Structure formats: structure tokens, C-alpha cells
Copies of this chain bind each other. A is one copy, B any other.
Amino acid sequence: MKCIKCGEKAVIHLRQHNTLALCKEDFLAWVPEQTQRFIEKYRMFGRDDRALVAVSGGKDSLSLWDILWRLGYSTTGLYIGLGIDGGIGYSDTSLKMCEKFAAERGLQLQVVDAPAEYGGTIPELSESTHRGRKKPCAVCGLVKRHIMNRAAREGGYDVLVTGHNLDDEASILMANTLNWISGYLLRQWPVLEAGPGGLVRKAKPLCRLYERDMAAYALLRGIEYVYEECPYSHGSKSLFYKEMLNRLEAERPGAKMSFYVAFLEAKEQGLFASSTDPALERLHNCPSCGQPTTAPGGCAFCRMLAKAV
């Protein structure tokens, strides 16, 4: 198979785009072009905005940071230490990957150490709040959302950027759809505008790029990243939905993309009663930590911490 741009030997065939096959060089140009296209299409942020890029050390977030850097955006990385070991030193390795990445490109990396700030690693916080009855994923999400918004706000960033790819978004959409959770369906979009209570604008520039293609980008670009998945991800709901969508994709190439893109289009064309979740209007500062919440009392993060003490 030949590259449709230059005729050289193709290294990748993007089946979701029918006949699109590209050589290494053209693929490495295509991914940033696509990213730029979606940043503009969904008005995520502009050249004058300061972006805080949440990086985990994985292929998606590091590739995203690389792409934004190449596209000339003003970026700082944010690494959140979660204290997850899992026998492989998961968090430590992840931090080192991020530090190496930033140093090689002369980029700034902000590190927030959750265990030091909140008196426990994610597994410990989860254990003391849920007493082993639940996986730590819920607590982990809560801590990361809290820290990401706080860091972006305190640092005066215009936008918080995450590496969610199309597989992540399609999996979230599948979960929201199988349960028809109205608020989440109304809220899901490539960009979430800043809101009351200090909610910082969030953007997902990779939301229309396949996970497989992001892995190929990282490999071909020579980005070193943590191959290991989080040791707690096994059996997670998001993996369950991803596998479901991958089976669908195997039977019908492009099905995963059209599920997500058709959703975005239906939304733009007014399928839903509201263009965003009306609950977001109720956002206000948590009286305890000051971060945005829709809960009338303290926010979920503070309630979790109170239980953990």
C-alpha cells in the first residue's frame, strides 16, 4: 500500500477513513494537522491562550503535548503524582517519562503530589473511604479533577487540555448512552466552557483521533511513554465499553468514529432540548476548598477527604 500523499511506501492505513494510507513523514504531519483542525472547529483555544496540558506519561497526553508544542501553542505540563505502585512503580516511572519529555523540549512541567498534599496515596484514600469495596478509580477521578482545575485556576491558565482520544470519548458516550444519563449526554463535547465557581475551560484536542493512531504517532515520533496501563484499569467500565466498541469496529471499520461524530452532529443540529447540562448553571465555589461544585453542601472531593480522615 502506498502513501496517498507522496506515493512512497505507507506505514499506516487508517481504515476509518477508507483509502487513507500514509508514509511515516506524512502521517507525522497529518496528526498535528488534524489536531489543529479540531482545535479550530470546536473553538478550543487560540494562539494567545496559555494552556495547561494534563500529562500522565502515557502515549496520548505526551503525544498531545508534543503536537501542541510543534503547532506553536504556549503550553505547560501538569503531572499529578497519585502514589500508584502496583508492583511496577507505576507513578514513579510515569513522572520520569514526563520530566524527560519536558526537559528534551525545554518545556515547563508542574508537579502536584497528591499523597503529600492530602495525606494518602490514591489506593490509601480509596481504601479509607470505601473500605476496599470499590476500585480506586472513582477516588482517582475525583482527586485529578480537583487538582487539575485548581492548578489551572491558580496558574491563571486560559484552558486545561487533556489527552482524551476518540476511543475514550466513544467509550464515555457509550456508557452515557447505555444508561441515557441526560446531564452527561448534554455536557459531552470536545470543549467545556468555563463556568461559575471558577470552572476552567477544558478541551480535548485529540477527541477525533483513534487510540491506535495515537500509539502509532508516539512510536513513529520516538516519544518514550509508559506502556503499562494503570494496574487498577483491569476490569474497569471504560475498558469494558472500549472492548465493546472495538468488536463493533472490527466488524465495521469506522463505526467507532461515526458513533461519536454522528453524536456531535446530531447535537449541533439540535437533537437535544439543551445545548449543555442545565445543572452547570448551579456551579458555585465549594465553601471548603473553593473549587467548583454543583452540590449544595461541600463538594464531592471534600466529602471524600472528610470520610478518609
Q: Which residues of A contact B (CB under 8 A)?
A: 177-182, 185-186, 240, 244, 247-248, 251, 255, 258-259, 262-263, 265-266, 269-273
Roughly how many angstroms separate A28 CA and B272 CA in the complex, as a whole number? 40
> Which residues from chain B contact A178 at a C-beta distance below 8 Å?
248, 255, 258-259, 262
B271 touches A185 (CB 8 A): yes
Closest Cβ–Cβ distance, residue A187 to chain B (whole Å): 12
> Which residues from chain B contact A270 at a C-beta distance below 8 Å?
273
B273 touches A180 (CB 8 A): no
Roughly how many angstroms separate A179 CA and B262 CA in the complex, as a whole number? 6
Using A182-B269, A270-B273 as known contacts, list a sample of 17 further A-B pairs with CB atoms less than 8 Å apart, ordered by residue number in A.
A177-B177, A178-B255, A178-B258, A178-B259, A179-B258, A179-B262, A180-B259, A180-B265, A180-B266, A181-B262, A185-B271, A240-B251, A244-B244, A247-B247, A271-B272, A272-B272, A273-B273
Known A-B contacts A180-B266, A262-B179, A272-B271; A248 and B244 likewise in contact (beta carbons under 8 Å)? yes
CB nearest to A269 among chain B residues: B182
Closest Cβ–Cβ distance, residue A272 to chain B (whole Å): 6
Roughly how many angstroms separate A142 CA and B263 CA in the complex, as a whole number? 27
> Which residues from chain B contact A273 at a C-beta distance below 8 Å?
270-273
Closest Cβ–Cβ distance, residue A61 to chain B (whole Å): 28
Closest Cβ–Cβ distance, residue A268 to chain B (whole Å): 11
> Which residues from chain B contact A271 at a C-beta distance below 8 Å?
180, 182, 185-186, 272-273
CB nearest to A240 among chain B residues: B251
